[in-house]
Amino acid sequence: MSGIPAKRPSLEARYTVEGHIWVEGAEGTFLGVGRVLLLEKIKEYGSITRAAGSLEMSYRKAWELVESMNRQAGAPLVVATTGGKGGGGAVLTEAGGRAIKLFRELDAEFRKFREKMSRTVNNGA
């Protein structure tokens, strides 16, 4: 019985299947956890600058991610709004909202998949 982890109570599942998924497009990553979180923050704040700040991400990096998503999507996910006092903001488009929803649904399916696989590992290993 050597090798059985001593810290795990016997009733607790011993192993869990973990992982990451992302959606690739023509350029490589199109949507992943970080990109979708950025879209959600842009929706919340109406500003790439503030969205980036809330994620401790540079504006430059956030802008590059938005541009990458816009290029790979069928329609822009984020559009910049210019003018007005204090400069322009950014608006999440309907396509952007659909991208968030799609990724969250994928992620929920992936969670279910990992739970199912964890049960397989714990029963069969």
The residues that touch its own copies, with contacts defined as CB under 8 A, are 1-5, 7-8, 14-27, 30, 70-76, 98-99, 102, 106, 109-110, 113-114, 117, 120-121, 124-125
CB-nearer residue toward its own copies: 84 or 124: 124
CB-nearer residue toward its own copies: 81 or 120: 120
Residue 17: name the closest of 125, 121, 91 by CA. Answer: 121
CB-nearer residue toward its own copies: 14 or 61: 14
CB-nearer residue toward its own copies: 54 or 70: 70
In whole angstroms, how close is the CB of 91 to its own copies at the nearest point? 16
What is the distance between the alpha carbons of residues 37 and 40, in angstroms, rounded to a whole number? Answer: 5
Residue 36: name the closest of 112, 88, 114, 97 by CA. Answer: 97
In whole angstroms, how close is the CB of 99 to its own copies at the nearest point? 8
The whole-angstrom distance between residue 91's C-alpha and the CA centroid of its chain comes to: 18
What is the distance between the alpha carbons of residues 93 and 77, in angstroms, rounded to a whole number? Answer: 5
Contact (CB, 8 A) for 48 and 59: yes
